[in-house]
Amino acid sequence: QAVLTQPSSLSASPGTSASLTCTLRSDIDVGSYKIYWFQQKPGSPPQFLLSYRSDSDKGQGSGVPSRFSGSKDVSANAGLLLISGIHAEDEADYYCMIWHNSVSTVFGGGTKLTVL
Nearer to another protein, 58 or 73 (CB): 58
107 Cβ contact partners less than 8 Å away, ≥ 6 residues apart: 4, 95, 96, 97
Closest CB 30 distance from another protein, rounded Å: 16
Closest CB 98 distance from another protein, rounded Å: 10
Site residues, another protein (CB under 8 A): 34, 36, 38, 45-48, 51, 59, 61-62, 95, 97, 99, 103-110
Nearer to another protein, 16 or 114 (CB): 114
Closest CB 41 distance from another protein, rounded Å: 12
Rounded Cα distance, 11 and 82, in Å? 13
Q: How far separated are the first and last CA of the chain, in Å rounded? A: 32
Closest CB 99 distance from another protein, rounded Å: 6
Q: Which residues of 62-89 are buried (b: 16+ CB within 10 A; e: fewer)?
A: eebeeebbbbbeeeebbbbbbbeebeee
> Nearest Cα to 66, choosing from 80, 88, 82?
82
Nearer to another protein, 42 or 75 (CB): 42
Nearer to another protein, 61 or 65 (CB): 61
